[in-house]
Structure 1
Amino acid sequence: MSEEEDLTPVKPEESELLVVTGMSGAGRTTAAHALEDHGWYVVDNLPPQMLGTLAELVSRMPESLPRLAVVIDVRSKNLQRDIREALNGLGASAVNLRVLFLDASDEVLVRRFEQGRRPHPLQGDGRISDGIRAERELLARLKDSSDLVIDTTDMNVHALATNVTELFSDSGPIVLRLNVMSFGFKYGLPVDANFVADARFIPNPHWVPALRPHTGLEKQVSDFVLIDSGAEEFIKRFVFALEPVLEGYRQENKHYATIAVGCTGGKHRSVAVAEELGKRLAQLPRTKVAVQHRDLGRE
């Protein structure tokens, strides 16, 4: 091979086109900035009617626009239809189009709008909560059909940027990223959970005075939870049941899933099980696992 041939750039087989959308105030701008920092070309506030045309342009120029993200907000009343038409119109073109949906709880969204001293785009003459309710109804179907959903309720801008960075590195999206999360049922189910496992069948360390002050991250609690309690068999069978599901995610070009493990307070059992489950899932091929504990340290 000649030196000239060595220097010839390789044409990408497939371009990445990412639609960033979701609830107003959930962090679209932060996500867009994080994508820009990692080599994505970002188009903000694109009219959704132009998405199909842009996708066609990307498919014809993969070497010029290999990784393009477009930020679309709720101002289009036909957002779901326009995105779906763009997806259907791609056909066999060499574009990998995904939809990233950002969400947060109503309470947090209201607080963010109040702190920013700006109205919600759909509130009209009503309250901020009225606009959020209208937007949630409008985007419900789009959220359900999105490839990735990130709940930013408990994230600041730095945590969200880190999350987006982990999903979209310089080499493109990872094959499959699993977020294993422990939580306490008394604080509510995680809104972005794809799978929920209930660890409340395991004897509770809370009722053992020597273990009560400790957490599932500590060996004495972890051993109590995982040994002679049925937890080992539960984890083994749960991973076995997840394997064909995760392979189906890959085949359907889905790259993100949240697996939530709950106990009463999110301090002992769910933490220990989530840690062990994360270790087992990390051994699966083409999989990256992050473990977080939503309610650890919460009184």
Structure 2
Amino acid sequence: MDAQDSPRDPRRERTRIALEDTVPEGIPAIDEAAPQVPPAQRPEMIIVTGMSGAGRSRAAMALEDLDWYVVDNLPPQLLPALAGMMTTVGAGVHRLAAVVDVRSRDFFASFMKYLGELRETGVNVRVIFLDSSDASLIRRFESSRRPHPLQGTGSILDGIEHERTLLAGLKASADDVITTTDYSVHDLARRVRELVATESDLALRVTVMSFGFKYGLPLDADHVVDVRFIPNPYWVSELRHLTGRDAPVADYVFRQDGAAAFVDGYADLMIPALPSYVDELKPYVTIAVGCTGGKHRSVASAERIAAHLRAAGFKVSTQHRDLGRE
């Protein structure tokens, strides 16, 4: 008798039927209809390296200003371990910059090996190499009165030449090379921002804050607007218990002669000036609007200025420092 003609084991047949009955039909269709979850964005790491005196510290500061977590003078052996601590979820570190250079002495000799291991971990790695002319580097070391880390018993130029020899291969493989010979510290910060900043990093953040003069000026104000010339709703008994965020108070304030024109005109005056703050490496601006107590006129005016600036495309938040203080 052929194997295919052999009788089936009744127990196995019952088991097969039971399994078929317990598997719902249509599951593949449900899976196909389910929305695909996009993969998490890979962590990003920037390695800042290059010649001593070329501006590595300033480049690291620029990255910190862009909300990167920065580690200075890191031995290359720690790069893979540091990358393993990064995450793409929650409030963990997902953008990390490490300054790695010849200050790590003998550890630096194995830099390329550990850089290769780092690239294999799945982290987006970018190497930024900073360079400058010999004359510029000598001038900077002499002005700072610090020795070159590889100078030893020789001259500053000896240390620079030795460093160039050690870093020649790394410079050739770098993703970006920034030559800072003619750069000021601000020029370097702008160049770093051009290379790595996203659109959200470069967005200006404007805060419009109301306050009461009797409690003092806000310490962090970049601009101060005085709206005490507007008649005070405090002296209207129906409005005294309300604030500038209530429609009756705002209606009263902007019915006064010149009030709406002044507030709207001030917002219009600021619109062409605000973008230049980012160009000058100042991404945060605080506009403080004050009245006597910080409850009625300043609050209504701050809300109106903020709305005007939002309509012009700026990212604006409002704060009412002294509201509820009376």
Q: List per-residue Cα deviations over 1:163-204 (Å, max 9, x = no partner).
A: 001111145999xxxxxxxxxxxxxxxxxxxxxxxxxxxxxx
The equivalent residue for 1:19 is 47
- Does 2:171 correspond to 1:158? no
Q: For residues 35 and 172 of structure 1, do their structure 2 counterparts lie closer, same or farther at Cα, with a shift above 3 Å needed?
A: farther
34 and 12 in structure 1: CA distance in 2 versus 1, 3 angstrom threshold: farther
Q: Is the 8 A contact 2:66 2:201 kept in 1?
A: no
Seen in structure 2, the aligned counterparts of structure 1 residues 16 and 132 have a Cα distance that, compared at 3 Å, is same
Q: 1:99 maps to which residue?
A: 127
User: Which residue of structure 2 lines up, in the alignment, with residue 28 of structure 1?
Assistant: 56
Partner residue of 2:171 out of 123, 129, 143: 143
Q: 2:161 aligns with which of 100, 112, 133?
A: 133
1:82 and 2:115 matched: no
CA pair 78-139 structure 1, distance change in 2 beyond 3 A: farther
Deviation at 1:81, TM superposition (A): 3.1
d(CA) in 2 for partners of 1:70 and 1:11? 25
Output the CA distance in 2 between the equivalents of 1:169 and 1:17.
13
Structure 1 CA distance, aligned partners of 2:152 and 2:69? Answer: 33
Instruction: Give, in whole Å, the separation in 2 of the partners of 1:48 and 1:172.
Output: 31
The change in CA–CA distance for 1:20 and 1:158 in structure 2 (over 3 A counts) is same
| Alignment coverage as a number of residue pairs | 162
Distance in 2 separating the partners of 1:80 and 1:153: 26
Letter of the aligned partner of 1:116 in structure 2?
S
Secondary structure of the residue aligned to 1:122 is: coil
Highest Rg: 1 or 2?
2
> TM-score, with normalisation over the residues of structure 1?
0.51
User: How many angstroms apart in 2 are the aligned matches of 1:12 and 1:130?
Assistant: 48
Conserved in 1, the CA contact under 8 Å of 2:151 and 2:159?
A: yes
Give the Cα–Cα distance (whole angstroms) in 1 for the partners of residues 201 and 123 of structure 2.
14
Give 1:183's aligned residue.
Answer: none
Superposed, 1:137-286 pairs within 5 Å as 137-170=165-198
Equivalent residue number for residue 252 of structure 2:
none
Structure 1 distance, partners of 2:119, 2:68, is 20
Q: Match of 2:152?
A: 124
Gaps of 5+ in 2: 1-37, 203-326
Give 1 or 2: higher helix fraction: 2
Distance 1:72-1:89 versus aligned 2 partners, 3 A rule: closer
Cα distance change on mapping 1:169 and 1:89 into 2, 3 Å: closer
Task: Describe the shift of the 1:67–1:81 C-alpha distance in structure 2 as closer, same or farther (beyond 3 A).
Answer: same
How far off its partner does 1:29 sit? 0.4
Shift in Å, 1:98: 1.2
Q: Structure 1: which 4+ aligned runs deviate by more than 2 Å?
A: 75-91, 170-174
C-alpha distance in 2, partners of 1:80/1:148? 21
> 1:107–1:83: structure 2 CA closer, same or farther, 3 Å change rule?
same
Higher relative contact order by CA 8 Å / sep ≥ 6: 1 or 2?
A: 1
1:267-291 CA deviation, whole Å, 9 max, x = no partner? xxxxxxxxxxxxxxxxxxxxxxxxx
Residues 52 and 89 of structure 1 are in contact (CA less than 8 Å); yes or no, is this contact kept in structure 2?
A: yes
Q: 1:173 to 1:104 in 2, by over 3 A?
A: farther
- TM-score normalised per structure 2: 0.47
In structure 1, stretches of 5+ residues that fail to align are: 1-9, 175-299
